[in-house]
Amino acid sequence: MSGRDRAAWLRTQLGERDLAVLESLSHLRLLTGKQVQRLHVADGSPLTQARRARTLLQRLTTLRLVVRLERRIGGIRAGSEGHLYALSGLGQAVLGVGGPIGRRRRPMGETKPWFQNHLLAVAELAVELTTHTRDGRVELLAFETEPACWRRFTGSGGQLITLKPDAFVRVGLGEYEQRAFIEMDLSTESLPTIEGKCRRYVAYWRTGREQQAHGVFPRVWWLVPSEPRLASIAGVIRRLAQEAQALFTVVLSSQAVDQLTGWPAAGARS
């Protein structure tokens, strides 16, 4: 049986929840066992949820549709919750997806811990938004990760520039809609680098392309791990032109979901 035939056959053997987990791994690239559970096994008691998630992940691992990384996270020592999971090449074939430019993605096990930490932080935001909006009072309309959320535009010198948010989020709040570019900060980048990113957003805003397509420019949310980091990035934003400062907000990561799903933030610019 060829690889393509095997992938097609395996797809017929998978249930709706199996495919949903593979789609999440394709979209978010890396998830902990606990994140998979929170996204896809919401029924039953906590013990039942944990057992079903372990069974689900073991099945997908045995079928070689996902890879389980050896790295442990969060001090957890038992069960699937303490492992990291990524989509395998076979899993990509089952979904019919490849890398960003049509090739198989680089194996996640070969990536650096800092990159994995960043992916997990973005994934956690997606998980929290998903679980927060399940009661229907707020809608998660879109959560796009890179490179789908990137924007390309022409700079003032005619050069092609790629704006690279970590995510793009659309949240429905009654008759309102919150649009946000997400920058997930883990205190690993220098402040000059942060300032360069902010100026790139300002340059894109000035083109008017986003506003012409959607009527509004998304607010840029810097999600940070600590109060000192918040103060540092807020200081960077204050160095921007006065009219551009309202494009940005800086919040603690622990407060991001409540604020993103609250009243639309002031400063989204047309």
For 229-266, write each residue's pLDDT tens digit.
999 999 999 999 999 999 999 999 999 999 999 865 54
Q: How far is CA 125 from CA 122, 129, 135, 168, 189, in A?
A: 5, 6, 17, 11, 20
Residue by residue, DSSP assigns 220-244 as: EEEEESSHHHHHHHHHHHHTS-HHH
What residues contact residue 150 under an 8 Å CB cut-off, 6+ apart? 162, 163, 164, 165
Task: Provide the pLDDT for residue 73.
Answer: 56
SS3 91: helix
Instruction: Count other Cβ atoms within 10 Å, centred on residue 223.
Output: 26
Task: Kindly tell me if the per-residue pLDDT of 106 is higher than 80.
Answer: no
- Mention every residue, 6+ apart, whose C-beta is less than 8 A from residue 144: 167, 168, 169
Identify the top-confidence range among 121-130, 155-164, 168-177.
121-130
Q: Identify the helix (H) or strand (E) that includes residue 139.
A: strand 139-145
**Co-location of 53 and 30 in the same domain:** yes
**Cβ–Cβ < 8 Å for 245, 266:** no
How is 185-221 classified by DSSP, letter by letter? Answer: --S-S-HHHHHHHHHHHHHHHHHTHHHHHHSSBPEEE
Residue 265 lies in a domain: no
158 in any annotated domain? yes
Same domain, 164 and 224: yes
**Could you tell me how far CA 173 lies from the centroid of its own chain?**
20
* Same domain flag for 129 and 248: yes
Segment 41-62 mean pLDDT = 93
Preceding amide of 46 cis, omega within 30: no
Rounded-to-integer distance, Cα 214 and Cα 178, Å: 12
Mind listing the pLDDT tens digit for each residue in 175-212? 889 999 999 999 999 999 999 999 999 999 999 999 99
Choose the weakest-confidence range: 56-65, 109-118, 164-173.
109-118
Which pLDDT band, with edges at 50, 70 and 90, does 70 fall under? confident
pLDDT (mean) for 12-37: 95
Whether 269 is in a domain gets the answer no
123 and 102, same domain (yes or no): no
Give the domain CATH number at 244: 3.40.1350
* Domain-located, residue 214: yes
Q: How far apart are the first and last CA of the chain?
A: 55
> How many other C-beta atoms can be found within 10 angstroms of the C-beta atom of residue 68?
17
